[in-house]
Amino acid sequence: MKSRIAEDYNATAGIYDMRYREEQGLKIGFLLNRVRLKDGDTVIDAGCGTGLLLEAVSGRAKTWLVGLDSSIGMLQEARRKGVEADLVLGDIESMPFRDCVADAVFSVSVIQLADDPGRAVSEIRRITKAGGTIAISYLKSAGIECPQAAGIRAAVHASETMKDIFITGFRED
């Protein structure tokens, strides 16, 4: 299934922003309005796609930005657009990062695509520093249970007007 999803995103990378920029921008804004980023933070976008969140974050604070995605086409589109971030090809369920490396980890409308959404959330927790920010959204229509991971203190937000459920909080430790 993962390879099919990556192939689908590879095929649509060039038109993704045209189709989804507005919708994704609302989700990104919803999350960014609920978290605080500081100069010097390391921010990872797990499932960065064409880099829409990375573009939004780059104007808020002087941060080190890293985008992870399983679609090479989406990463190439982010690079073509000039997204200023380190871009990494990888899987959200097994991220190629050290433990406790990020001050903030975002994942917008991605975990519902994972084979095991709970595993994806556990990986997000693993790479987040103690006290670090976690901000996730997933599609309501996916019909998944709100994924939880031990050691995350979070609030769940639902919006009548948006397609996602939002989770914002921090890693306890």
Query: Which whole number is the average pLDDT over 45-64?
Result: 93
Whether 84 contacts 56, CB under 8 Å: no
pLDDT value for 150: 81
pLDDT over 80 (residue 10)? no
The phi, psi pair for 158, rounded to 5°, reads -120, 140
For residues 141 and 69, give the distance between their C-alpha atoms in angstroms, rounded to a whole number: 22
Gap between the terminal Cα atoms of the chain: 34
Tell me the three-class secondary structure of 16-47, residue by residue: HHHHHHHHHHHHHHHHHCCCCCCCCCEEEEEC
pLDDT value for 7: 87
pLDDT value for 2: 72
Q: Burial-class residue 84 by CB neighbours within 10 Å (0-12, 13-18, 19+).
A: exposed
How high is the mean pLDDT of the chain?
93
Confidence of residue 109 (pLDDT cuts 50, 70, 90): very high
Alpha helices per DSSP H over the chain: 2-32, 52-58, 72-81, 117-127
What domains can be seen in the chain, in order of their start residue? 2-171 (3.40.50.150)
Greatest Cα pair distance, the chain, in angstroms, is 41
Q: Which of 88, 86, 143 is nearest to 112 (CA)?
A: 143
Whether 96 contacts 89, CB under 8 Å: no
Query: Which whole number is the average pLDDT over 128-150?
Result: 90
pLDDT over 70 (residue 1)? no
User: Can you name the residues that pair with 21 across neighbouring β-strands?
Assistant: none
pLDDT over 80 (residue 11)? yes
The number of beta carbons lying within 10 Å of the beta carbon of residue 37 is 16
**pLDDT (tens digit per residue) in 73-92:** 999 999 999 999 999 999 99
